[in-house]
Structure formats: structure tokens, C-alpha cells
Structure 1
């Protein structure tokens, strides 16, 4: 997998000045995301007019005449606000992590769970739920267990004395299988009336449990990981062209690979700890980003983050508006993502043939 001929290099060189088209694309996506976030804050069983939402948000910056009710303010700031922020954070994190893995492994089917981080996080969160711990503890357990899973992947490669990307992926399959088996044991011993349904719904993904206090830790980890990826964006673009070209241009391949895997892992673990297991976002959004922005990782990175945030925000709106009972995120992402991915594969069939 050092050089997969079935997956051509995306972009080349170190790039030049940011084009007007790219800036226009990013600005357009930012505006669309802001509009979608404002609309999302109006949705719910207790509708809030868009003007009231805007007034409430502006009141956090400077004082003005109050033209809204206390219930509207609580709904926007304490309930929907954290949920909208979490949807954008999780969507951006999973999309960028997916783009990173696809560039690193030169494989269009690589996703954020390729190294077992999703399986590990799912086990950690389920263990916290089985122990009856609170939301922040569930997030912490999920994050720590996800990091443990990836650490075991690297340890297994070291034990076998083989640190290639192929061995890392194979180690991820082994570790994920082990954590899935442990998760099955937790489901067996969990109380089928009180605990098992909670674990099941958490594993399906959802943002209904997000609290304001859960946002800052996840935001800090995702932002720090994104900063690492931004620093390495040119090296990753060159590395996608092949190891020989990267060495010729002075790229420290081992260091870049390790830093990128670590950053993507931190992102994924933080996202899973916040929202549970959410599939398809890290698989299809990078394809969409490359389709509109071009192939290089430096071009894909900001567009993938914005598209991922927008995609999951829209999906979450559907989940909490489609029925009286909230639909888990993974169900809707699969229903939307599967046909969309088929369409993307059809458009790119010549590139991956």
C-alpha cells in the first residue's frame, strides 16, 4: 500500500498562491454553513423564529432590547446551540480524518475507523455506560479507549518488527475485532431493560446527549489536530505522489505518517466520544471535497472540513425532525451516504479502474 496504482496521486508540488476560485469556494461554503446553522437553531418541537435566534445570538456580543422569551433563549443557547456546534465539529473532524487516511494510504475506501479507533471508542463508552457514569465520563472513556486501540496497532507492528502501512492496516483489523468482541461481552452482561438500550442507541450515534460542557474539550482536540494537518498539508500532498518523489523533495516520510495518523486518530476519538459511532461521513465527504476542490490534500483539507460540518448538520436536522422519536445519526448517514457514494464512484470510475 506504499503506492497503490489503483489510486492515482492527488495533486503535486508545493502549490502556489491560493486562487480566487478556491477562495470563492471556501467563502461560499462558510456562508452556506452559517445559514444552515442559523436555520438549525430554529428547528425543534418548540419553534423559534429566525429573527429571535439572530437577536439572541447578537445579545451575547452586545446588550440590546429583549424581544424574545426566556424559553426561546434557553432553547437556542442551552439545547440547540451545543447540538449545532457538536454536529459541525463531529462532521468536520470525521471528514478531515477520512481525507487524511485516504491520502496517506492512497486508498479511496479508507475511513476513520481503519485503525480500530471507532471500535475502541465504542467499547470505552459502553463500559462507562455499563458502570453508570455521567456524560463527560462517557466521552473521556471513549476518547481514551480509542487512543488505546491505535496504540495497540502500533505496538503490534513493533512486535512483528514491521512498520509498513500495510501492517498498520492489518493490525487495525485485528484490534478492531478484539474490541468488537469485548463490546459484545458488555452487551451480554448489561441489564437488558435499563442499560442495553442506552448502549445500543449510543453506538448508533446521536447528538441528543451533548451538553455545553462537552464542547470545549472536543473542540480543543479537534482544533489542535487540524492545526497539525494544516502544517503538514504540503508534505502529505507530495507523499501522495509516491515515496520516491517525497524523499527526493526532502519529506521525512516516517515522521509525516506518524503525525498524520496521530492527528486523525485524536480527531476521530474526540468525535466518537461526542456523538457516538457515526458512519459514512469520513468515507464520502472526502470524495465530494476532491470533486469540487481538486486532488491535492492541501486543497481538500479546508473544503472537506466545511463540507463535513455542513453534511452532518443537515443530517442531524433530519434526524430530529423526521419523526416524533429521534432517529440515530448512523441510520440517516447510511441511507444518504450509500447511494451518494455509489454516484461518486460512478463519476470517478475511470480514475479507480
Structure 2
């Protein structure tokens, strides 16, 4: 009896290219969808007009595409790609497929910073700055918990992240308890559920700096991330010192997550589900896994955000939809690929 033929995965470079094309298609489709439908040829003409300086013939369509939808799509792509890359890096250095950006406490710290700004009635700039500063502060606390320990073992980092995250989550709960239930509380709750509804090109600029820096660092270290995923002993055997590399990766992930949470609130499951999808597609080699995860996460969150603003007359928080979609998808993936979702060679 002939053995069943195995379907070989596509070449990693081809997979990255296909995902990049997919991201462009999803973004173009998202620009056409909404309460005010704009045909695809019209969208293309508007975008080309921004480059060539052609006169605007449809002011309403121009404003909808360029001023409303385009910054929102760019922000969703940055946040989704950043959270996905953060999840990939953390799962590799902790050698645990269940790790996500929430595990190091940065998301909770950034959540408290943003919620505090809303509680005090400060402006958008303070909200973004507060989320970013407290996200970095959370990583600093984790570092203080582990500093002085021999090699700063991964278990101590995880425990420090859990403790730090729980502390900041308690502070967020305190703010929601003390907030005015008629105006401040709804604003805090909606922000914590995650949304890019208030996207502007200014927020895109705020997000692209930390996400871009963190992504570049992870791309530069992608070979060392491969080595760290094998274990500390193997890393030392090939001349890689685990401690400094691990903290550099953690710092890069912190920049990415803090920048994402600062402009969108807390969006869960993206940093957990998308890395597994990418890993099943191209395998565990982070030379290709990191860029593919960014592109796939960007396309995923743009698609989810398009559903969030199109399914109902109101605005569905992104965190709700990513959980509703992510949890069942992750369950199916675990059931169908539990033997190769992490150990695939």
C-alpha cells in the first residue's frame, strides 16, 4: 500500500511575498468597505491622486478614504503586526507556545497609564504618553525582580511579569471603581476593550516609531532568537550569551507592545494565535517567521477592524472580536495540529 504523499510547504521567501500581497489586498478591500461604500477603482484613483497631486473630483469619497479609513487601516496594521511579532519573539525565548505579550506585564502597565490619563481627564497626548511610560515602567519592575539572580532565569522573568501585570490590573480596577459612571467610566472601559476608531495620522506616527524600532531590533537578532529557542546551553555552545540577548529582545517587545497599547488599548489573542498560524506555514526559522508574522498579523487585524466597523451600526471593540475569533481558531488549531504546532522541523 502506497504511503500518502505529504504536501510540502511553500518556500519561506515565497510565503513572505504572498503574505505581503495578501496584506495589500486586504487593505485595499478595507478602504472600500463601510457605511459609505467607495468602489475599488475610485479608491485607487484617490490614492494615486495623493501621489501625483491630481485635483480632487469627489471630496466626500476623498475625505472618507484618506482622512478616515486610511489612518485607521495603517494603525490597525501596525498594531496587529507589532503584537504578532512580539508574540513570536516571546514564544521563542521562553520556549513556550502559550506565551504572549501579556505575560511580561507590559500590556497591563500600558493599560494603567492610558486609563489614568482618561481618569484625570487629560488629552490624547497624555493618554498615549502615559500608556507608553507605564509600559516601560512595567518592564523596569520585572528587571528589578530578576536582577542579581544568576542569569535571570526565565521562570523569574515570567513570575515577575505575572506579578507586575496583576499589580497594574488591580490599579486599573481601582480606577474603574472610582471613575465617574456617566462619562469617565465608559471612556475607560471602551479604551480597555481595544479600538482604533480614533485613529489619526498623528497616532500612526506615534505608533510607527516604537513598533519600527522594535521590529528592526528583532529582525537584526532573528538568528540569535533561533539559537535561544534551542535552550541556553546550546546558545552558549555557539557563542551566544543568553542573558543580554534575552533582555534586548524583551526590551524590543516592550517598545512594540507599549506603542501598540498606547494608541489602541488592549487587544488580546493576536500575539498568541497569529504566531502559530505563521509557524505552521513556514516552520520555526525566525529569519522568515518574524517578517511573515508581522505581515500576517497586520492583515489579520485590518480584516478584524473592518468587521468591527461594518457589522453593526455601532462600533464593536476590537478586543471583543479578536477574542471571539481567536479563541475558537486557536482551539481548532490545537486539535488539528497538536502534534506539530511547535515541534515541526
TM-score (norm 1): 0.91
Give the 3 Å change call, closer, same or farther, for CA 300–162 of structure 1 in structure 2: closer
Rounded to whole Å, the distance in 2 between the matches of 1:81 and 1:135 is 20
Q: Please, what is the CA RMSD of the aligned residues? A: 1.7
Rounded to whole Å, the distance in 2 between the matches of 1:242 and 1:188 is 44
Rounded to whole Å, the distance in 2 between the matches of 1:20 and 1:348 is 18
Rounded to whole Å, the distance in 2 between the matches of 1:240 and 1:160 is 21
5 Å matches for 1:66-145?
66=56, 68-145=57-134
2:135 to 146, 149, 157: 146
1:44 to 34, 38, 43: 34
Rounded to whole Å, the distance in 1 between the matches of 2:17 and 2:106 is 32
5 Å matches for 1:204-215?
204-215=193-204
Q: Which runs of 4+ in 1 moved over 4 A?
A: 159-162
Residue 284, structure 1, aligned to residue 273, structure 2: yes
Shift of 1:26: 1.3
5 Å matches for 1:334-345?
334-345=323-334
1:64 to 54, 59, 83: 54
5 Å matches for 1:1-353?
21-64=11-54, 66=56, 68-158=57-147, 163-351=152-340
Rounded to whole Å, the distance in 2 between the matches of 1:113 and 1:296 is 23
The answer to whether the Cα contact below 8 Å between 2:13 and 2:288 also exists between their aligned partners in 1 is no
Rounded to whole Å, the distance in 2 between the matches of 1:330 and 1:231 is 30
Rounded to whole Å, the distance in 1 between the matches of 2:183 and 2:109 is 23
Listed one character per residue, the Cα deviations across residues 92-131 of structure 1 (whole Å, up to 9, x for unaligned) are: 0000000000001000100001111111111110000011
Rounded to whole Å, the distance in 2 between the matches of 1:240 and 1:156 is 23
Rounded to whole Å, the distance in 2 between the matches of 1:20 and 1:173 is 38
The answer to whether the Cα contact below 8 Å between 1:135 and 1:209 also exists between their aligned partners in 2 is no
The answer to whether the Cα contact below 8 Å between 1:112 and 1:282 also exists between their aligned partners in 2 is yes
The answer to whether the Cα contact below 8 Å between 1:136 and 1:214 also exists between their aligned partners in 2 is no
Listed one character per residue, the Cα deviations across residues 144-190 of structure 1 (whole Å, up to 9, x for unaligned) are: 11111111111122277772110011011111111111111111111
Shift of 1:347: 2.9
Listed one character per residue, the Cα deviations across residues 171-219 of structure 1 (whole Å, up to 9, x for unaligned) are: 1111111111111111111100000000000000011111211111210
The answer to whether the Cα contact below 8 Å between 2:151 and 2:243 also exists between their aligned partners in 1 is no
Shift of 1:22: 1.9
Rounded to whole Å, the distance in 1 between the matches of 2:228 and 2:160 is 22
Give the 3 Å change call, closer, same or farther, for CA 34–124 of structure 1 in structure 2: same
Shift of 1:343: 1.5
Shift of 1:23: 2.1
How many positions carry a matched residue from both structures?
Answer: 334
Rounded to whole Å, the distance in 2 between the matches of 1:193 and 1:263 is 38
Rounded to whole Å, the distance in 2 between the matches of 1:23 and 1:297 is 12
The SS at the match of 2:152 is: coil
Rounded to whole Å, the distance in 2 between the matches of 1:297 and 1:197 is 41
Rounded to whole Å, the distance in 2 between the matches of 1:141 and 1:82 is 22
Rounded to whole Å, the distance in 1 between the matches of 2:102 and 2:192 is 14
Shift of 1:65: 5.5
Shift of 1:303: 0.9
